[in-house]
Amino acid sequence: MSDGPTAPVRADAWLWSVRMFKTRSAATEACRAGKIKSAGDPVKPSTKVSPGTRLQISRPGYVVILEVVHTHPKRVGAPVARQAYKDHSPEQIKPSEVGLPMRERGTGRPTKRERRQLEILRGYTKDR
């Protein structure tokens, strides 16, 4: 890997090469679904990324913000992949830190009353 500037690469290929997605087709689908953004705009799979580009990846429950440092057209090993970007993601909040009620493992399904309380807490239904 060189320390100099690297050539622009397709967004889907870069996301796959630095192991953000398991397959290139998964990276392509994420781009098409609007889950990848650059400067607030959705990124097409064919959009070229180069060093300095910031990409925002929406994952279920959190967001990953990456800055491209090196571009790789081919998939690379995990240690090399971690050096290809800078992670600017905010800290992930654990459910236990938020104060959401957690059921003990093995207690079975929630009762009707507990289910209704959970729905009210999550905002699915109105408070009675």
Fold (topology level) of 9-92: 3.10.290
Give residue 61's pLDDT: 77
In the chain, where are the structural domains located? 9-92, 94-128
* Dist. CA 11–CA 54, nearest whole Å: 11
Categorize the per-residue pLDDT at 118 as very low, low, confident or very high, splitting at 50, 70 and 90: confident
Greatest extent of the chain over all pairs of C-alpha atoms, in Å? 63
For 33-76, how does the pLDDT look when each residue is reduced to its tens digit (9 = 90+)? 999 999 889 999 999 999 999 999 998 878 999 999 999 889 99
pLDDT exceeds cutoff 60 at 5: no
Categorize the per-residue pLDDT at 15 as very low, low, confident or very high, splitting at 50, 70 and 90: very high
- Residue 15: exposed, middle, or buried by beta-carbon count in 10 A (0-12, 13-18, 19+)? buried
Q: Which of 69, 42, 45, 44 is nearest to 56 (CA)?
A: 42
Whole-model pTM? Answer: 0.70
Residues 88/65, Cβ–Cβ less than 8 Å = yes
